[in-house]
Amino acid sequence: MENSRINLLASNDKLSPLEIPSIITSSKVEDTIALGKKLSCSLEKGSIIALQGPLGAGKTCLVKGIASGLGVKDEVTSPTYTIISEYEGILDDKAIPVYHIDAYRLRGTDDFISLGGEEVIFGNGISIIEWSERISELIPEEAFKVVIEIKGENDRLITIYRGDRI
């Protein structure tokens, strides 16, 4: 698999789906947001995006791009203390719930289930899960997996795939 740089898209450019699997280098927050917008074009009702990466890797920046690509108008922030934030997005010209989940403070799958998390991620919306490794038992194989690695002060290596490996 070839490593590529994401090209920022002008606001009037038509977005096209991201080739999956992909390995992308991002050197700016704006590039990570643009990648999220591009990834949003590959999503459909019921999609789950499982994010992994250390603190400060850019997971929330990617979520902001995905949400923007789905037409979310509200400001997207990390739901660390609320665990699940719900936004209204647009998919195929219809309103769709976009769930931003932060599993960082969960002790495991049972915590998430007790919050009603299963109903959220297996419902009719789009679920984006930060710290997805904390609830890995619930992440289906067909989910989009995104691994963000810090390679320098501003450099990130972002791997996106489906299934159990790239």
The residue ranking higher by pLDDT, 74 or 17, is 74
Are 103 and 76 contacting, i.e. CB atoms less than 8 angstroms apart? no
Tell me the domain boundaries of the chain.
Answer: 21-157
pLDDT recorded at residue 17:
80
Q: What percent of the chain has pLDDT over 90?
A: 83
pLDDT at 36: 97
Burial of 93 by CB count in 10 Å (0-12 exposed, 13-18 middle, 19+ buried)?
Answer: exposed
110 three-state secondary structure: helix
pLDDT over 60 at 3, yes or no:
no
Q: How sure is the predictor about 165, in pLDDT bands with cuts at 50, 70 and 90?
A: low
Residue 48: name the closest of 39, 56, 57 by CA: 39
Q: Does domain 21-157 match CATH 3.40.50.300? A: yes
Measured between its terminal Cα atoms, the distance across the chain in Å is 9
Res. 18 pLDDT band, cuts 50 70 90: confident
- CB-count burial class (<10 Å; 0-12, 13-18, 19+) for 70: buried
- Single pTM value for the model: 0.90
14: which residues sit within 8 A by CB, 6+ positions away? none
